[in-house]
């Protein structure tokens, strides 16, 4: 599996599911974040974990832009 997560992998990401991503990264695309899994990556669904997601700090709602810094 390579590239961005797409169906049927999106269907694994349901509320209450615990998903383990190996060799995954966040790519910036048109000011938004995308989750990508490389060719050696894995997507696993496991037993539900016992934790609560903090939803008040959703970084996906922030638009980012690349700023080049020139060092003198």
Q: For residue 62, what are its two tokens?
A: 């922030």
Per-residue pLDDT tens for 17-72? 788 889 988 887 777 778 888 888 888 888 878 878 788 888 778 777 778 888 87
Q: Supply the pTM of this predicted model.
A: 0.50
Question: Domains, the chain, ranges and CATH?
Answer: 3-61 (2.40.50.140)
Contacts (Cβ under 8 Å, ≥6 apart) of 37: 1, 2, 3, 4, 5, 21, 22, 23, 24, 43
């Amino acid at each position: 599996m390579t590239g961005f997560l797409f169906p049927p992998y999106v269907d694994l990401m349901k509320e209450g599911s615990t998903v383990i991503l190996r060799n995954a990264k966040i790519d910036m695309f048109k000011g938004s974040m995308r989750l990508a899994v490389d060719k050696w990556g894995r997507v696993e669904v496991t037993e539900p974990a016992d934790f609560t997601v903090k939803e008040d700090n959703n970084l996906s709602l922030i638009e980012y832009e690349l700023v080049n810094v020139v060092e003198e």
